Structure 1
Amino acid sequence: MAKLSGFPEFLPAERNVELVVLDHLRSVFELHGFASIETRAVEPVEHLLRKGEIDKEVYTVRRIHATEDPTGHDRTGDALALHFDLTVPFARYVVENAGHLEFPFRRYQIQRVWRGERPQQGRFREFTQADIDIVGRGELAFHFDVEIARVMAEALAGLPVPALTLQISNRKVLEGFYRGLGIDEPTAVMPIVDKLDKISGEKVLELLQTDAGLTRDQAAQCLGLAEITSSDDSFVAAVRALGVRHPLLDEGLEELAVVVTGAAGTPGVTVVADLRIARGLDYYTGTVFETRMAGYEHLGSICSGGRYDELATDGKSTYPGVGISLGVSRLLVPLIADGLTADRSVPSAVLVALVDEDGRAESNDIAHMLRARGIPTEVAAAPQKFGKQIRYAERRGIPFVWFPAADDAGHQVKDIRTGDQVDADLATWAPPAEDLRPRIPSSQEQHS
């Protein structure tokens, strides 16, 4: 059977890499008080298509034997589609459950999503995202923009990946600057400027004139703004030097300076102001984030998000929020393809050796006692020579082999990596903490 492109699947050791990453993310998010939720996989098509130009990416869902009405809809109900991100379903979830939530509501969500994109490295049809959001009722204080950036920077810093750069911009800066230039439709400019990572500045200059209708001077000013980056608040002076003035620009510059300086300082993650960042979806209203990984810049952003003041509303109340989404699959699949793996393919830390088939009950009892103390353990599949049982454990990455007590000796445990074999008390022995669960070896360990 031909392999389906765009639907990544992992071997066990590779899946353990993903599990290590997901466990780390959950731990950081929960340390900061974010509650876990999961939303349904489908939403009404019309609800999804309301949130940006993604109609070509949406997978619709219908029964094979569905009966359609003259409009093409399934007679059994509304047309449904798989969600293409977690933010739109979250907005619906907030509105439907507002009476049961305490605001500001802090949520994290790790779940599969689906997009009908052309499969390529870093882009898939089915993939895992990890989102965090803080949403308020009526209003949401700006300091949450800073908190979201800091929490995700902390989560990213603990991942076994190359250096990351968190790029931060603010749509108020862009819109205010464009309006200060006399541009009536700033939203026509943003997606063109956002292409600077993919096409040359000269091409962007041309498109701003041909597609957005700007004069050459306006286009040159827009390009000048987009080329400003800094790792501190010095970008404010650089923008001011362009000579454009507008109240929305002032507001955006102030906000952006606070987020950039507030999120800085996390080892392993470089925070920069980057004024080319706009984000493609139309619900962002202020702070926006993107993230690049060193050596994998061709993947584009692996972690993105921003402030959305009007995404969720029930007609009476508006629920503004700020959030950021990590593309777990986009991050990990290329790294795994390049050799990133876990130190074992199974969760077992111990293999209990089997002396003979008559001794299976004893080996099972030993495994049960170790498991009762939280030590992942399995029993050898067959009573082969101990050398073969050790090699079996080695192939699976199991670090320890337990030898049941014999007539002339008590229980012993062998670290098959070092060859050390010692007496062991079944009631007290435990592997080192770092061996208790599969882990991702450091780059030095992987190449030693």
Structure 2
Amino acid sequence: MAKQKPRTLSGFMELLPQRQVQFDRMVELLRSSYSRYGFTPLDTPVIEASEVLLAKAGGETEKQIYRFLKGDTDLSLRFDLTVPLAKYVALHYADLAFPFRRFQIGKVYRGERAQRGRFREFYQADIDIIGDGKLDIVNEAEIPSIIYQTFTALGLKRFQIRVNNRKILNGFYAMLGLTDKSGDIMRTVDKLEKIGPEKVAALLTGEEIGITSEQADEILKFIAIQGDNDHVLAALAGYQGRHELFDHGLEELTTVVKYLSAFGVPQTHFAVDLTIARGLDYYTGTVYETTMLDHPEIGSICSGGRYDNLAEYYTDKQLPGVGISIGLTRLFFVLEDQGYLNEEMVTAPADVLILPMTQDLAPAISFATQLRSAGVRAQLYTEQKKFKQKMTYADKIGVPYVAFLGDDEISQNAVSVKDMTTGQQETLPVSEAVSTIATKLNERMAGVEPIREPDHKA
């Protein structure tokens, strides 16, 4: 019979056990970080009715969606976690308490062209705060602190959260008489880092957008305002009094900056950046992008912002919110590619591999039970293999300790324990072996994050 050659579809990530453990540890730390800020976990269906999922869609989104018929039912795979959230809040509005704070970590699907670092199936990790009618500006200041604490918990140190406010941009374009072109301008300016100021100016003055060279120069001069946060805010103050929307945006941005230190975000990790616009018209206030300082070419690893009406396609209720999203699969790929994954992290499925050396397995089973009761992960290896093969298995799974129970150990109510890292082996009473292994494991795992940045030379 002909055998089917196994393969994984292009654009779908499939990890070997060691990397899967590291990925799962990242997810675990994200869940822990989000929970400390009072976010509740949410899980929405991967498959939705197409008319529900595509209520707002169009253009590129609709082209990339995985859509199919099951009988007479038109179904689609979710392409992000925001639209399902909008449906969820509209559907369960009467049962929720507002502000509603949720996090969701789950797979989404986009049928885009697969290429290196881009995936068709990938995990997103989202947090959103949804208000009922109104949402206080302090929530927009809290978001950068969550980004900061989350990436710090993962082990990243050299990153920067860049923040702007869409009201400032819209107000500035209104001053120039370009309100009707502001969306096109912002989407073009959003490409500045990728294509540079000359090409941005060419696009702005080109046939499609069609602003004057003077207007393009004024825009590029405005978004080039740089310096520390106080300097940028002071420069923006020079534009005050010329448009109400600009003034409102500057007031919001100043408030966000004011509260950041109280939220525990150091100045080194936060910058007001007027080039940040986020290409979607969806955003209406504060916007965020996060970049790795040593790899700016990767682009944003965490983005989001403030929006005024989450569920406008499902309900008449005004539901403003603020949120961020991490493309977790892409981030993990980038971290592995750049050598950021911590190889010292214990990724074995067990902490101790127990090798019984006698026919009677009761002592080995009893020792495994005691280890598990002490919170130590234990695996019994009872396959009829040669000793060398058993030790090869221990090496291959990367287990930290191997325990041997032969006739001599059993007669002394003891166990021989080998540290697979140092090669050191000692025979200890069973109870002492349990406490010693538990203590050494705690010491070994303390402060070991899934990410370890390569040494950086300033």
TM-score range, shorter chain: 0.7 to 0.9
Cα deviation, residue 394, structure 1: 2.6
Give the partner amino acid of 2:308: D
Of 39-48 and 23-32, more deviation after overlay is shown by: 39-48
Aligned residue among 48, 53, 58 for 2:64: 58
Note if contact 2:346-2:445 (Cα within 8 Å) is conserved in structure 1: no
Aligned to 2:42: 37
Cα deviation, residue 128, structure 1: 0.6
Note if contact 2:413-2:430 (Cα within 8 Å) is conserved in structure 1: no
Go from structure 1 to structure 2 and tell me whether the alpha carbon gap of 1:246 and 1:324 turns closer, same or farther (over 3 Å shift): same
In the TM superposition, what are the counterparts of 1:199-210 in structure 2 within 5 Å? 199-210=195-206
In the TM superposition, what are the counterparts of 1:384-403 in structure 2 within 5 Å? 388-403=389-404
Mapped to 2, the partners of 1:426 and 1:387 lie a distance apart of 28
Of 390-399 and 149-158, more deviation after overlay is shown by: 390-399
Cα deviation, residue 190, structure 1: 0.7
Mapped to 2, the partners of 1:392 and 1:150 lie a distance apart of 44
Mapped to 2, the partners of 1:35 and 1:126 lie a distance apart of 24
Cα deviation, residue 239, structure 1: 3.0
Aligned to 1:72: none
Aligned to 1:131: 126
Of 273-282 and 93-102, more deviation after overlay is shown by: 273-282
Of 248-257 and 293-302, more deviation after overlay is shown by: 293-302
Aligned to 2:92: 97
In the alignment, structure 1 residue 418 sits paired with structure 2 residue 422: yes
In the TM superposition, what are the counterparts of 1:327-366 in structure 2 within 5 Å? 327-339=327-339, 340=341, 342=343, 343-356=345-358, 358-366=359-367
Aligned to 2:189: 193
Aligned to 1:70: none
Cα deviation, residue 307, structure 1: 0.6
Go from structure 1 to structure 2 and tell me whether the alpha carbon gap of 1:134 and 1:394 turns closer, same or farther (over 3 Å shift): same
Note if contact 1:133-1:148 (Cα within 8 Å) is conserved in structure 2: no
Give the partner amino acid of 1:135: I
Note if contact 1:150-1:262 (Cα within 8 Å) is conserved in structure 2: no
Aligned to 2:326: 326
Cα deviation, residue 389, structure 1: 3.5
Aligned to 2:236: 239
Go from structure 1 to structure 2 and tell me whether the alpha carbon gap of 1:49 and 1:28 turns closer, same or farther (over 3 Å shift): same
Go from structure 1 to structure 2 and tell me whether the alpha carbon gap of 1:103 and 1:170 turns closer, same or farther (over 3 Å shift): same
Mapped to 2, the partners of 1:258 and 1:221 lie a distance apart of 26
Give the partner amino acid of 2:404: F
RMSD: 2.7
Gaps of 5+ in 1: 67-75
Could you report, residue by residue, the CA deviation over 1:341-361 in whole angstroms, capped at 9, with x for unpaired residues? 5544432111112214x1334
Cα deviation, residue 444, structure 1: 7.4
Paired residue secondary structure (1:133): strand
Mapped to 2, the partners of 1:325 and 1:368 lie a distance apart of 42
In the alignment, structure 1 residue 312 sits paired with structure 2 residue 311: yes
Note if contact 1:114-1:126 (Cα within 8 Å) is conserved in structure 2: yes
Mapped to 2, the partners of 1:20 and 1:268 lie a distance apart of 28
Mapped to 2, the partners of 1:442 and 1:60 lie a distance apart of 36
Aligned residue among 161, 165, 168 for 1:166: 161
Give the partner amino acid of 1:142: I
Go from structure 1 to structure 2 and tell me whether the alpha carbon gap of 1:16 and 1:252 turns closer, same or farther (over 3 Å shift): same
Mapped to 2, the partners of 1:297 and 1:439 lie a distance apart of 23
Paired residue secondary structure (1:289): strand
Aligned residue among 409, 419, 433 for 2:442: 433
Cα deviation, residue 385, structure 1: 5.9
In the TM superposition, what are the counterparts of 1:167-182 in structure 2 within 5 Å? 167-182=162-177
Gaps of 5+ in 2: none
Note if contact 2:283-2:307 (Cα within 8 Å) is conserved in structure 1: yes
Mapped to 2, the partners of 1:269 and 1:9 lie a distance apart of 36
Mapped to 2, the partners of 1:118 and 1:398 lie a distance apart of 39
Of 342-351 and 9-18, more deviation after overlay is shown by: 342-351
Cα deviation, residue 105, structure 1: 1.0
- TM-score scaled by structure 2? 0.86
Cα deviation, residue 334, structure 1: 2.1
In the TM superposition, what are the counterparts of 1:187-336 in structure 2 within 5 Å? 187-210=183-206, 211-241=208-238, 245-263=242-260, 266=265, 270-313=269-312, 315-336=315-336
In the alignment, structure 1 residue 407 sits paired with structure 2 residue 382: no
Give the partner amino acid of 2:169: L
Go from structure 1 to structure 2 and tell me whether the alpha carbon gap of 1:192 and 1:316 turns closer, same or farther (over 3 Å shift): closer
Give the partner amino acid of 2:334: P
Of 102-111 and 80-89, more deviation after overlay is shown by: 80-89
Mapped to 2, the partners of 1:168 and 1:383 lie a distance apart of 61
Cα deviation, residue 370, structure 1: 1.7
Could you report, residue by residue, the CA deviation over 1:312-333 in whole angstroms, capped at 9, with x for unpaired residues? 2454421111111111111111
Aligned to 1:7: 12
